[in-house]
Every structure is written in structure tokens, then in C-alpha cells.
Structure 1
Amino acid sequence: MLLFFPDPSWASVNRGTFICDECCSVHRSLGRHISQVRHLKHTPWPPTLLQMVETLYNNGANSIWEHSLLDPASIMSGRRKANPQDKVHPNKAEFIRAKYQMLAFVHRLPCRDDDSVTAKDLSKQLHSSVRTGNLETCLRLLSLGAQANFFHPEKGNTPLHVASKAGQILQAELLAVYGADPGTQDSSGKTPVDYARQGGHHELAERLVEIQYELTDRLAFYLCGRKPDHKNGQHFIIPQMADSSLDLSELAKAAKKKLQSLSNHLFEELAMDVYDEVDRRETDAVWLATQNHSTLVTETTVVPFLPVNPEYSSTRNQGRQKLARFNAHEFATLVIDILSDAKRRQQGSPLSGSKDNVELILKTISNQHSVESQDNDQPDYDSVASDEDTDLEATASKANRQKIGRSALVTSSSSLPSFPSTLSWSRDESTRRASRLEKQNSTPESDYDNTPNDTDPDDTGSSRKGRQRSMVWQGDGSVPDTAEPHTAPSPILPSTEDVIRKTEQITKNIQELLRAAQENKHDSYIPCSERIHVAVTEMAALFPKKPKSDTVRTSLRLLTSSAYRLQSECKKTLPGDPGPPTDIQLVTQQVIQCAYDIAKAAKQLVTITTKENNN
């Protein structure tokens, strides 16, 4: 365990370690394919998952990741752990990357000519080990390249089948974290769930079902704070937007139609990417609520978009990162559309006249963003050479229906653990054969750039940039786009100290709001949002009416429009409003995301002004 302060607040689930706030900021920047981070108090935990992490930690799982550092020879070579007094950047950050991303200190097996043989041997050892309770042995095998979904050719089953037969629920948790599929059938057609029930391990069987639907459960819980009742056969919850205007727009209808036309493989990738974005947003909200607000302003600790996963294509990584641009309402609409279509695919409901048209989707996305300026926190996207094959015949077949398992949703390297996610609809095998093509086509954003009713979807401002203008805080003269059309752009920026001072005020007010959300003090929402409103107004007033910098304009637009939406969401908690009853859990989630958008925009402005004033 890498701890520089006592009483760790976070855990890295797939590494079996507890981590402090400083280390957590680095872990999160690595991405969930490297470290799956959860807060110990402010994140809901399945009891057996937390027990699995605690068991690994207590049994010395950290020594797996620091194996070579325990060798006295490593001291002679100059290699050492980072010390508590070292700076986070670069000292501690470089050590954490070497330890978990590069696996620089993991025990290495002797080199062999055929790595696949080595992986097969390790997987067979894993297959035998999971029948016992020795978690650290299995984690060590997984760290060396054993495959959690390995199908034993002689035994005719997977490690999860073995663990389920033996009733080893913590082993099942570990295997699931590394991508094991509870829906995989053995040579006799039985799943791990079947064997758990057959052996009387009812808690394990119920947990395996939860794992199988974890992706859609997590998306539903993110919006409405509820999960399906799997025991009684309910496997999906489709939350309803409190304001359905976005769902009725022509743009939203077109986007939903495109989503429905995706092949199963592409739809899975989109759902997985949205799952990662949900995790990033939820973890950022916890992070904002638990950190010192001055530290948040002065240090780069927020993860502004999904980190690059080298297992994915450049196109997919770009699409994943652009999900961060969705505001709270747009992202909620995307999540609901995914849940609705996941249920449709699970039930095998056909779409009349549906065919895959990924190339058109990508073209639409490209056109919509071609006029967009890069935000300060957006990556410099690589240009991806087009190697697309226009023959997408793989999407037509509906024959050979079968349940897909988690093996379809994980990375190819066991050293890059997958996030837990399972979809259970049918997949045609020809889609698998087209996976390389489809990975290049899985850019899941901007089809869901939905607009409110007061915006004409056919307006020339159909790009996100134009739509954001329509959502700007009306009546706030400090918003750049509301300046007189003949006002000349001004390059003048306020002092860094003034921007930092106002940002600290905004952050402090946001933390009060997030604490109220965590404690279910819904009557505090409106007073908190009003204080944030005042602080945002004062922050925006520091800047010229029409800043010359595109990034400043974009950040101010995000700041003010998010504050406007925050007030609108908080007002929904007032009693006695006409219309359907308010889903307070959905409102709370929208409030949290609006607050996060405000904090992100304020931090962008700090970064921009600091950079410009230092030049």
C-alpha cells in the first residue's frame, strides 16, 4: 500500500490497496483501466467487494506490486519507494505510474519463446487456485497475465465456474473485477450462477446476477438513486426526465435513432464508455466535496476528461474524452437512451428498417465539431487516418443469437483490468469479426447535443457552440455572447489573484451544496444555489464583456449556463409545483453535475489567466 498520510480515504479496487488523497489524485489520472478508485465512505460498496479489497490489503497485496523493491539488491541499484516528504509531482506521481501502469516492480517470469503458452499456464494455475480462499495468490497470477475468462480445454469451464461451485464469493468478486463473465456457459451449458444456486450459495448467486447487470444498474443508480430488483425478475430501470422537452426535440429523436441503429458491438462500446464517464463524474463530485477548497483551486487534482486507454483506438479515445463536454441534462438524456436501448436489445425487440450507419454518425459528429474551438481542458486530438471499410455487412445477421458475456467488454490484457460491466442481449458472431473496423467507428458523442424547446434545431447554431449560447444565463450582462455586436474583442484579463479568490469562494459554496446533497438536506439547495449564483456573477464580472480568447469565452459560457441550470434544478425541490411529482434523486444528481460543471469552468479560468498573465 502506498500511503503518505494516515487514515486512507480511498481504495484501488483492482490493486487491492488503500490510498491517501494525494495518491488518489494520481491514480485517477491514470484511468480505470489502470486503477479503479472508490471512496471508502462516500461511495456505495457491495459488502463482499469491500471485504475482498480489505482481505487483499490485510494479506499483503501491496507486495505484489512492489515485489522487486523488497529485494535488498534493489537498494543497491538505487531504486526506492517515494517518501512522504516527496512532492506529489513529479516524485510520487512517477513512482505510482511505474508501480501500477508500467508494472515495473512486479515479479517477472523467465522469458519464453511463446508468451501465449505462459499465459495459458498461468490461467490454468488460476483455474486451480480459485477453489481456495487465497486471494493474493490469484491476484499475483492475474498480475502476471492469467486470464480471468480462461476456458479450460480439459475441464470445460472457467475459473468463475470453479469459484462458484466452491462458494468462494471473494474469489468471484476478484475475478469479476478482472472481467470474468457470470453468464459464460461451461461445456454442459451451465453458468456460474447456476452452480452457485445448485450448491446452495444463494448470496453468491444473487451477487453474480448483480455483477452481470452492473453496467446498466450503475447508469440507472446514477440518475435516480435506485437499482432494479433482480430477485423478482426486474433487470432494468428507465428513469424519466423531470423535464421531457429535450426528449421531444428533433435532434434528440435523430440521435436516438442513430443509437438504435448501432450494431451490438458498437453499442456495447458506447455503453462501456458512458459507464466510465459516469464513474469519472461521480468520483469528481466526491472529490470536490471532500477536499480543501484552497487546494482544489491551486493544484491540478480534477480529472477533466477520461484518460487515454492504449487498448482502444485513437478515434474511440477521442470520443470518450469528448463525453466530458456534455452538460448535466445532455448527459442524462444519453444515459436514459442507452438504458432504454439496452432493455430493447435484451428483450430482442427488432427495429423496423434498422441498419448500421456508423459512417454517417461519424460524419455528423465531425461536422458538428468542426467549428468548435478547443476548451482549455480538452485534449489535443490526434488526427486519425481513415481506414474505414464501407462494407458493414456484419450488422445484418440476427441468426445464432446468444447471450454475450463480460469477455466481450474487457481489455485484451489482464494487466489492464476491465471495469465491471455486463450486457446480456444477443450478439451475432459476424459482428465480432468486424471488431477492428467498429473500434475505429465508436465515437459516442455529440449525437446527444440536445437543445431546449426555445432553440430551433435547424438553426445555424446546431453545433454545441451555438447551442450553448442559447442556454447562457439570461440577464447576466457579464456573459461574453451578450455583449453588443459592435464591441471590439478585448485581450485584457483580470489578475490571477482576483480569479483565484473568486474561484475559492465558488468552490467553498459548491462544497456546502455537495454536503447538503450527501446529507439529504434538500431544503438547503436553493440557498446554496443562490450563493453560488452571486459568486459566479462576481467571477464573470472580472472579465471583459467580449474576451478575445476563445477558451475564455467558452469557459465563461460553461460557468454561467451551468449556474443558470443549477438554479433551475434546485427550484424543482420546492413543494406544491404543478405537474408530476419530482424525483428528488434525479434532481440531486442533476444538481451535483451542475455544481461539477461550475467548478470545472472556474478552474479552467484560473488555469487560463495564470498562463496568460505569466507570458
Structure 2
Amino acid sequence: MSASAQHSDRSKLPSSMANLERNNKILLDLVRQPGNNLCADCGVPEPDWASYTLGVFVCLNCSGMHRNLPAVSKVKSIRLDHWDDSLVEFMQERGNSAAKAIFEKCVPAFFYRPQQKDCVVLRDQWIRAKYERREFTEEDNYFLQAYNSDLFESTLWKKGKDNKQFLKRIFLLSRKDFTLRYFIKEDSKVPKAVISMKNLNAVFQPEKIGHAHGLQISYLEDERMRNLFVYHTNGQTVVSFFNAIRATRFAYLLKKHPTLRDNDLIPQITTLCLKEGYMEKTGPTQREPFKKRWFTLCSMNRKLLYFKSPLDATELGAVFIGTEDHGYSVSESSSRGMRGGRWHRGITFETPGRQFVFMCEQEQDQKEWMEAFRKVISQPMTPEDYANCKTHVIFKH
């Protein structure tokens, strides 16, 4: 190589480095701006990745899901990767707010928008719905029409009531009478169950069910909670079914509460329980041996439910949780004098009619259960809560 060529290469290097530093600084300034300072897909603060084909700033977890859509989205680190001038200019032109105006133009009120802590299938399908299928751009109303149709059918794998085997079942959502039916066979004329939207709740439970797409459907039947555990191998199918449930529930709530605004109804469509897990419990005299049971605490119906195991179809018992003014309280307790318990982190729950004693395995579990109890106790009771408290079921041992 000639001396002049070597000099030319050396002169280019500082300029290239300067451009790199300048572009990285521009990107870091961009990501601090309102809108860009939260992940475009899950809302987590301080995203440090970006899709340079879509023009959005995303977090590390969501960037991994974007990589699964190479025909639609290509990502780079805004701190570690080299950015050409043209890509930086596109990020300046687009950004999260402008991208949302395109890709989230007509997201229905009922549609679930996943957050950072939601399971992978929900976040993955949200990203696919926005950018791959472009469900909310108004280019094609097929998906919106499907969610809002009078009937929505889906075939899912459902856990049998008395065994661990999952069997194929046909589920049918009806907006005409606000029900969910399921059938054992495709040609069945009579459904195995007809479930009202009134008390139906659906929530993803992949770890509990043992499948990445596991969905739990809960509802009241004869004043007792019933659970259905379902999944589908295709993520789009099960998330579409979940959002169709939300659409039907939302339509039911709109009809039941015509004067309430959407923002008041949306939190009621489907709800996560405050806390669930194993505790040990004793009987009403507190001299009975402790038994390990699976507990679920829900703020919406103010009930602590218990089951023999996490995948039980029906609760063994429940107790209503009122407010402090009505004689409800929770406190730490000791295991001294208690018979048969292996765990020693105690909780005493007082109600007007009975004192309950529970034991947790770890101090952290005890702390989380106490916080969950106190959260429900501190919530003011609604007229519907007053009606429910008269029909609660006291624990069996």
C-alpha cells in the first residue's frame, strides 16, 4: 500500500469514530424523551434497544421477541452497536409515540395490553399482533370483527376434572346471551357446561398448569368457585380466545352498567389474584392437625379460597374478607401450642364469626400473605360486597 493510501485510511478513522459517538449520543438523547423513555411494547422504563425498521425503542426482553420477526423488525443496541446516519435519522423521524399512532391506532378497549411481568405468550402475541399481523392499523378489520362477533369458537385442550389428562374440547363464546359453553365432541348438540359471563374470570397461569400457553378460567357455580384449565399449542389461538373472552365480558359489563365509563369497566373485565400458594391450616378449635392446602386470595370478590391442590376443579372452602370496621383483621402469630404443623411462620386472621390460623413455610411468604390480606381489608366494601358476605362458605378442614 502506498504512503498516500495509508494516510487516507488514517484520516478516515477519526471521522468514523466521531460519527459513531455523535450517533450514539443522538440515540441516548432520543431515548430520554417522553414516549421513548418507556419500552414501546411493555412499558418498562429506560429501554436500551431499538427496532430500526419500525422506529421504536424497546427493552431487552421485548427486543428478543422482535428478533423472532426478522421480516418485520430488526434490532440493535443503542449503546453497543454501530448506527449508520440513515438509521439514526429514521429513529428521529419515528420514535415510540409516532409508531403507536400507526400500530396501535385502533386497539379495542377490551384488548389486553401486556406489561413487563406478564407471561411470554401474552407479550409475544401482543408484539406479533401489532407489527406482524397489523391488527390495529385499520388496514384489515378481520381480527376486530372476529373478536366482536356474536359467536367465537375455539378448540382447546382442557384438563379432566378428576385426572391430569388434557382432552380436546370445543369452546363457544356467545354475545347473544353472554355465556361460554364447552362441548365434548364436535357434533355434540348439548354442551357439557354453560357458564355465565357474570362471574367469569380468565388469567394465564403457565407455571401452575405446566404449559407455556396455560389459561385458567374461573366462575361461580352454586356459590362455589369452579376452575377450568386449558391450553393450545399455538400461542395466537389461545391469546385470541383470551381476548375474545375479554370482549364478551366487556360487552356484558357495558350492558349491566350503561352509565359507567370504559376506564371504570376495563379493570373489571379480567383480574389477577392478589396472592396464591401453599399454606398450612388447622380446624376451628385450633387443636386439629395442620394440613397443607393451596390458597387463592382475590380482591375483586374479597374471598380467600382454598383447594387441596393447585389444579383442583372446585374449591373446598372459602371465607369472605370484610373491612376492619366490620371486625376483620390479620396479624402474625406463633406456632407454639399448635399440633402437627411443619411450618412456623404463622398468620392469625380474625373474622366476626371465627379466628383462622395459617402457617407459611418462609418469612417472605408470610409477609406477602399479610400484605395481601391487609390490602383487601383496607378496601371499602361495595353494595355487591355486602350481598356476597351473606353467602360466604366457611372453611371445611
| TM-score in same-fold range (> 0.5) | no
Compare relative contact order (CA 8 Å, sep 6+) and give the higher one, 1 or 2: 1
Structure with higher helix content = 1
Give the structure-1-normalised TM-score.
0.20
Give the structure-2-normalised TM-score.
0.28
| Higher-Rg member (1/2) | 2
Structure with higher strand content = 2
